[in-house]
Amino acid sequence: MRISEAQVGDAVRASVRKLVAEDRMERARMREELIGELRSRMVRCKNINEDVMRKYYGIKANMCRPIRIDEKITLDRVINKHGDNGYVSISANRSENDDETNAARTRSLLSDIKKSGYAYLPTYGGYRAPDGSEVGDYEPSFLVFNYDKSGEELDFDRLRQLAIDWCGKYNQDCVMVKAPQEAPIYLDRDGMKVNSSESDKVFKNDPNQEYFTSLKDKPEVDSEINGKLMGKYKTYCHRNNIPVTREGFEEWKEDHLTDIDSIGRRFTNDIQFECYINPIPQNLNEMRMRGNEIYPWSF
The percent of residues above 90 in pLDDT, for the chain, comes to 28
**What number of other Cβ atoms are within 10 A of residue 215's Cβ?**
10
Low-confidence winner among 172-181, 190-199, 235-244, 261-270 (lowest mean pLDDT): 261-270
pLDDT at 110: 97
How sure is the predictor about 10, in pLDDT bands with cuts at 50, 70 and 90? confident
pLDDT at 210 over 60: no
Low-confidence winner among 13-22, 122-131, 194-203, 210-219 (lowest mean pLDDT): 210-219
pLDDT at 268 over 60: no
How sure is the predictor about 101, in pLDDT bands with cuts at 50, 70 and 90? very high
How sure is the predictor about 203, in pLDDT bands with cuts at 50, 70 and 90? very low
pLDDT at 241: 85
Cβ(276)–Cβ(137) below 8 Å: no
pLDDT at 275: 76
For the chain, domain boundaries: 44-198+272-298
**Mean pLDDT over the full length of the chain:** 76
pLDDT at 207 over 50: no
Long-range contacts of 240-249 (CB under 8 A, 24+ apart): 244/98, 244/99, 244/137, 245/98, 245/99, 246/96, 246/97, 246/98, 246/101, 249/98
pLDDT at 168 over 90: yes
